[in-house]
Amino acid sequence: MQINIVKIGGNVVDNPEALQTFVEEFSQIEGPKILVHGGGVLASRLSEKLGIEPKMVNGRRITDENTLDVVTMVYAGLVNKKIVALLQAKGENAIGLSGADGNLITSEKRPVKDIDYGFVGDIVAVNVPLLETILSHNYVPIVAAITHDKNGQLLNTNADTITAELGLGLARHHDVSLFYGFDKNGVLKDINDDQSNISEINFEKYQDLQAEKTIHSGMIPKLDNAFKAISKGISQVWLGKAEDVRKAINSKSKGTFIKTQTS
């Protein structure tokens, strides 16, 4: 089975026009597909309204107990159900899930090393048979970036990582491609110039771009996961504007394609 897994970022989720455009495009992608989302922009805004200061380190959110409540409400509640409803309006039989639903994604609380990330989960296992069952019945899983530890504890988990781990689990028996959609034309040489996208990157080029500080913040977890995925059997990884995902699937899009690591 050919499966396309698409992830959209918080800037897309937070922009009603961009989200609607994406939903239009996503609903026209044929075949089995999965959508993964976060909602970090909205979560940060709600946190501030509640007097909870958002804290980020290298593009990753520090999640204390109050912040966990906020991200769970935003990701697994408001954002997830909004996307499900929009897709249902397009005739897509979407089903909203967190990692706790059907034991889809189990994780463990990240150990404290240099940084205490709080209630952040590192993925332990993905329930691949559940995904296969859902897809075989023509449902479209919409997965929020919340997992659980099987002991009753919900954990905030990076949506880029979830995308990669779902893909790696399914890739054992299926042909899987990953598409990271956000609000830029891909990986940019100049963050202020959306036309400066790099069409292809291998691992050596990625290391050079990091050393040059061309790539930083939230782009680092995206690319870390992309290279892990491509090195472990994922057929294709692409990063670019969410509205261009369908074109990318047909190899007719701008954006950045991740190439296999070379020695």
Q: What is the 3-state secondary structure (H, E, C) of 135-147?
A: HHCCCEEEEECEE
**Residues flagged as binding site:** 39-40, 61, 156
Beta-strand (E) ranges in the chain?
A: 2-8, 33-37, 56-57, 60-61, 94-97, 105-109, 121-126, 140-144, 146-148, 154-156, 175-182, 200-201, 236-241, 256-258
Contacts of 111 (CB under 8 A, 6+ apart): none
Q: Can you count the helices (H) and strands (E) in the chain?
A: 10, 14
- Tell me if residue 54 falls in helix, strand or coil: coil
Q: For residue 60, what are the β-bridge partners?
A: 57
Residue 167 in tokens? 């893909």
Q: Computed from CA positions of residues 88, 161, 30, 187, in that sequence, does the dihedral angle turn out positive or negative?
A: positive
SS3 124: strand
Annotated binding site for substrate: 39-40, 61, 156
* Residue in this structure with the two tokens 């999965």, named with its chain if needed: 34
